[in-house]
Amino acid sequence: MQIQEVRNNAREQRVATHSHIRGLGLKPDGTAEPIATGFVGQENAREAAGYIVDLVKAKKMAGRAVLLTGAPGTGKTAIAYAVSQELGPKVPFCPMVGSEVYSTEIKKTEVLMENFRRAIGLRIKETKEVYEGEVTEISPEEAENPLGGYSKTISHVIVGLKTAKGTKQLRMDPSIYESLLKEKVAVGDVIYIESNTGAVKRVGRSDAYATEYDLEADEYVPVPKGDVLKKREVVQDVTLHDLDVSNAKPQGGHDIISMMGQLMKPRKTEITDKLRQEINKVVTKYIEQGTAELIPGVLFIDEVHMLDIECFTYLNRALESNLSPIVILATNRGLCTIRGTEDIQAPHGIPVDLLDRLLIIRTMPYTRDEISVILEIRAKVENLKLAADALECVSGKGINSSLRYAMQLLTPASILARLQNRDEIQLQDIEEAGSLFFDAKTSAQVVAQNESQFLH
């Protein structure tokens, strides 16, 4: 007889652009390790970002924002992502690009406010009353159909629940009987029922029935201890945008439970300022009562030079709000004209009054050795094997064109190697992939040389 272990077939996490970044890689004294948590180099920028994290944790970041400046491919987005990682797994991280604000359906300022509220989390601590125990009886009580005829309807259902401490008979609404049928609850099952919502959850089969011969593999659980009716604390994490969407068409009360119960499909229309102010009042009330806790997340706006003067003015006001996330901006532009104006030039295309509010962090171009180490880390994340001469070649391409281009060559090169029945990427695979896919500089040269053949 052969017995094999069943392997777990859980889906692996998709490899994204910054899958290898797990934090800022700082020592306990705040100085940066040369290579740590997926980061290579950029020690000054990472140390500065570490101070930002300390300011946020000390709640001293109000009314300010961070600006990351540097050449393309120098790790600006990676630093913003690492800051959110350092703040904790439950902290919302909302990335967007400056050009996202331009839409034919929604105002620019509305898109900004929506993303602001996506980046603000709310942790709600709710105490629920639940009935929990082993089912001893399920008796539906029938009544005459009020519409007439011979059929009968369920007027109520009597459920018996038993715990280690005692038993209780509960008279319940017919809708709960439907939930019991959906969960396939039978006598001997351990269940719990929420008293305020009537939600039913089957936990498993009582271990008192574990000696039975059962064809179906069922999970046996012990009979609950304590009373049948008990209080349980439930913690829910939502964002302010979730509350906005769920209340866009109010259908009941204004408490937190009603807000969570009204979740609907995302709308393409705008949410009014009046609704947001009402939600802010309710949120503030619950924070003061200690029922909820505000968790400011990270709003990352890349290519911030794409915003226009109207958006910058709105950003100025939004930063002063009581409910404001940590805003991190990034740009690769130098002195340029502010969008929405005729001839007003400013550093990074950002008005000077907003620049005064920003803590500016500069990222430096990578050296050849640093690019080599980054590509090595990236290859490990993507489960690729690189030969030494191939790594040297692709590092050279990173210096001559860009780090992004060098990274993008790895996967096509691995496919070319696999076609040749090789596990390791060789120099010839990198060169072939480089001849198939142009970088930005080569593409620009081709356009310049064959300008007459392109449409103007």
Q: 318-338: per-residue pLDDT in tens?
A: 888 877 888 999 998 888 899
pLDDT at 330: 92
Q: Considering the domain 35-119+297-362 in this protein, what is its CATH number?
A: 3.40.50.300
Amino acid identity of residue 422, one-letter, is R
Topology alike, domains 35-119+297-362 and 127-234: no
Q: Based on DSSP, count helices (H) and strands (E) in the chain, helices before strands.
A: 14, 19
pLDDT of residue 401: 85
> pLDDT tens digit string along 26-82?
888 888 888 877 788 888 888 898 998 888 888 787 778 899 998 888 888 888 888
**Mean pLDDT of the residues in the chain:** 82
Predicted local distance difference test score (pLDDT) of residue 41: 80
pLDDT category at 11 given cuts 50, 70, 90 is: very low
pLDDT tier, 264 (very low <50, low <70, confident <90, very high otherwise): very low
Say which amino acid occupies 349. G
Residue 96 in contact with residue 298, Cβ under 8 Å? no
Q: Where are the domains of the chain?
A: 35-119+297-362, 127-234, 368-451
pLDDT digits (tens, 9 = 90+) for 103-162: 877 888 888 888 888 888 888 887 778 888 899 988 888 877 766 666 677 888 888 898
Q: Output the CA torsion 379→383→389→394 (10° steps).
A: -30
pLDDT band at 12 (very low <50, low <70, confident <90, very high): very low
How far, in Å, CA of 198 to CA of 216, rounded? 28
Using one digit for the tens of pLDDT, what is the confidence trace for 347-376? 998 998 888 888 999 998 888 888 898 888
> How far is the C-alpha of 321 from the C-alpha of 286, rounded, in Å?
18
Q: Which of 377, 374, 386, 383 is nearest to 429 (CA)?
A: 386
CATH fold of 368-451 = Helicase, Ruva Protein; domain 3 (1.10.8)
Which of 403 and 15 is assigned the larger pLDDT?
403
Residues with Cβ within 8 Å of 33's Cβ and at least 6 positions away in sequence, in order, are 25, 26, 27, 39
Q: Which of 385, 303, 382, 368 is nearest to 40 (CA)?
A: 368
- Amino acid identity, residue 206? S
Domain 127-234: CATH superfamily, name plus number = RuvBL1 DNA/RNA binding domain (2.40.50.360)
> pLDDT tens digits for 233-247?
777 788 888 888 877
Distances (CA, A) of 39 to 23, 34, 92: 8, 8, 22
pLDDT in tens, 207-221: 877 665 554 556 788
At 177-233, the pLDDT tens digits run 888 888 888 888 888 888 777 788 888 888 877 665 554 556 788 888 888 888 877
Specify the DSSP class assigned to residue 78: H
